[in-house]
Copies of this chain bind each other. A is one copy, B any other.
Amino acid sequence: MDGIHDVGGMEGFGPVVVEDDEPVFHHRWEQRVFGMNFSAVGVDADRFRHAIERMDPAAYLATSYYEHWLHAIETLVVEAAGVPPEQLAEARRQLAAVPDPSAAVPHHVEPAWAVALVAAVTTPPPPPAAATDARWPPGARVRVRRHIVSAHTRCPRYVRGAVGVVEAVRGVFRLPDASVAGDPDRREAVYSVRFEAEELWGAPGHRVGLDLWESYLEDAG
């Protein structure tokens, strides 16, 4: 999907604004959103990212990072967890009628879940399978395909058609394009590919490395 999220190389965004002594979270609601994502609905990063990418482009640019997450969780609670949308609307109606909606959220604890969750997020998962049948070795010249028509892809527009050099083979990973399309078992080698700025932007000065799945690439010829 060539969506609004794919901003690499877009011009007109202005300066990078840095906040001094920024807290990890700015608002309590950001904490709740962050925490809610660690549940069955947020566990699939591909579907989660795709839910954000489908936001209305104007809303995407006008809202903050954790509003994107909120949108995604609301979307996946319906799409992935099967909660009827009316239930969300009804909860909003109910809570809109009370003076402090946050205080009116039911409190329900599951101490065992919490312990298991914290252990899970701070334990390294097993390494990815080595790519024993990778098509290209380090040093190979590859071209990114011009056309990626998946509903969800991790191949940004700014490298489409560009030629780069394989720096490393990172292992075998689930292909996000297939996963979001309903085939979570398709796996492919992922390559770290180095591009010269001249090739990407027509002016030299730096190099950019991207990690790209095998089906995004073709022989540079």
Contacts and interface: CB of A to CB of B under 8 A. Distances in A.
A3 B11 contact: yes
Secondary structure call for the A interface: loop
Nearest to A203: B149
Number of copies of this kind of chain in the complex: 2
A161 interface: yes
A147 interface: yes
Contact of A12 (B13, B53, B202, B203): B53
Contacts of A4: 10, 12
Interface string A36-48: 0000000000000
Given A12-B57, A14-B56, 7 more contacts: A10-B57, A12-B55, A13-B57, A61-B62, A62-B62, A149-B202, A157-B157
12 contacts: A1-B12, A2-B9, A3-B11, A12-B54, A12-B55, A13-B56, A14-B56, A57-B61, A58-B61, A61-B62, A147-B201, A147-B203
Q: 8 closest A-B pairs (Cβ-Cβ)?
A: A147-B202, A58-B61, A3-B12, A58-B62, A161-B161, A2-B11, A1-B11, A149-B202
